[in-house]
Amino acid sequence: MNAQRVTLGIDPGTARLGYGVIRGEDPATSLEFGIVETKSHEDMPSRLLQLHDELLGLIRDYRPSVMVIEKLFFSRNVTNAISVGQARGVAMLTAAESGIQVVEYTPAEVKQAVAGYGNADKLQIQQMVKIILGLNELPEPDDAADALAVAICHVQHSGFLESLESGNVQ
């Protein structure tokens, strides 16, 4: 994997969409992370357009080669699941229109890759992201930490696959 490769991680949501931009693989470095927050009093099309515009800005600024996004898991809260699904759709569409590959991982895969435990809690993920990326403080809010975690998961996963393909795994 190219040490200069830029990965954009997304933790989807319409109220708060977390994002994390990292460069390289071992060690990866954080370029930027945060959230896109929309106003609940605005109509959904306006909120989705805001997500699209903010993601386009990140793509233009950092030129990622891949967008990594958490897979939607089934929830008892159908309204929340639909809202997250809409945000995922906007993110995927934005990546596709920008010519960026999209890769998905389940929350358990992300937790396993980052914390070594598929049921890690939010604080454990924040602490491991801080260590892996060499940050001075815990990444906050947790939506941003989750986005960084999904990007880290992909970098680790794709680095392993590239090693397999090249025959460098022992």
State the catalytic residues. Answer: 11, 70, 143
Sequence length of the chain is 170
Alpha helices in the chain, H assignment, sequence order: 44-62, 78-97, 107-115, 122-133, 142-166
The H-or-E segment that residue 23 falls in is strand 16-23
Report the alpha-carbon distance of residue 62 to residue 53 in Å, rounded. 14
Q: In what order do the strands lie in the sheet with 6-11?
A: 29-37, 16-23, 6-11, 66-70, 101-105
HSE toward the beta carbon, residue 126, CA cutoff 13 A: 12
DSSP string covering 102-143: EEEE-HHHHHHHHHS-TT--HHHHHHHHHHHHT-SS--SSHH
